[in-house]
Amino acid sequence: MTQRTGGLYRLLYFSGFYQWFQDLLGDRAFMRAVADDWIRPRPGDRLLDLGCGVGSLLAYLPQVQFVGVDHNADYIERARQRFGKRGTFLTVDLNRLQYDPGWIGGFQIITLICVTHHLSDSEVLALFGTLGKFLAPEGRLCLVDPCFHEDQPWLARQLAKRDRGEHVRDESEYERLAREAFASVRAEVRQGILRLPYSHLFLEAHGPRGDHRHASRE
């Protein structure tokens, strides 16, 4: 995982400052839009949220079986304090993802919200390969990340260049990586969800390549 750590970026490692900063940006409206418009979970779905931060997504979900994973132990502790038994929260490095065997084929939805722009291409592809094994037969991977795109406002592009994650990509690059790992991919760029001018790619993928359950979709 590659990200900027100097100066003010360092403060984002502390869960209290991170939550305050996210609220300042308009995180509540952002998470609601992600949950309602993109993830669209059903009650009872088993959902794996990788890079869950302080667990903010869970506040906008119905009664799902929620597993949240993040490498920052301080974030995970805050998530446990906020949500108690509503979810299971684990401190895990995504590049060294250790998991329960029960995760194989066990999730209807896997979310990566503002995660893959912290990872190199090879790290993303390795992660996608693992996550494909976790999806239930009709499961979906839902990804949201800052992106570059044509006709992007100047300020939005400058903010994306200065994001804590060092691998913000063009929209087509995110799609290319997803298509290497999944048979079906759809994506769209959305702007204006945060209080700052920012562009996000919303991407949905299913049908892990090499998985016989989805061979008819190839």
DSSP state of 165: B
- The sign one gets for the Cα dihedral 41, 43, 45, 48 is positive
Question: How many whole angstroms separate alpha carbon 193 and alpha carbon 187?
Answer: 16
Beta-bridged to residue 141, according to DSSP, are 110, 205
Summarize pLDDT for 94-142 with one digit per residue, the tens.
877 878 888 999 999 999 999 999 999 999 999 999 999 999 999 999 9
DSSP string, 12-26: GGSHHHHHHHHHHHT
Residue with structure tokens 């132990």? 73
Name which of 1-5, 12-16, 24-28, 110-114 the model is least confident about.
1-5
Q: How confident is the model at residue 12 (pLDDT cuts 50, 70, 90)?
A: confident
Closest CA to 36 of 62, 8, 5: 62
Query: Mean of the pLDDT values across residues 199-210?
Result: 92
The domain spanning residue 59 has which CATH number? 3.40.50.150
Residue 134 is assigned to a structural domain of this protein: yes
Residue 54 is assigned to a structural domain of this protein: yes
Contact 59, 39 (CB under 8 A): no
Residue 2 is assigned to a structural domain of this protein: no
Domain count, the chain: 1
State the virtual CA torsion across 150, 152, 119, 123 in degrees, nearest 10: -10
Closest CA to 18 of 95, 64, 70: 70
Residues in the chain: 218
Residue 138 is assigned to a structural domain of this protein: yes
* R_g of the chain computed on alpha carbons: 16
In terms of C-beta density within 10 A (0-12 exposed, 13-18 middle, 19 or more buried), how is residue 63 classed? exposed
Q: Residue 137 sits in which domain range?
A: 7-217
Tokens of 136: 């239930």
Residue 1 is assigned to a structural domain of this protein: no
Residue 62 is assigned to a structural domain of this protein: yes
Q: How confident is the model at residue 4 (pLDDT cuts 50, 70, 90)?
A: low
Residue 181 is assigned to a structural domain of this protein: yes
Contact 108, 139 (CB under 8 A): yes
Model's pTM, two decimal places? 0.90
Q: What is the pLDDT of residue 216?
A: 34
Residue 20 is assigned to a structural domain of this protein: yes
- The sign one gets for the Cα dihedral 158, 195, 9, 120 is negative
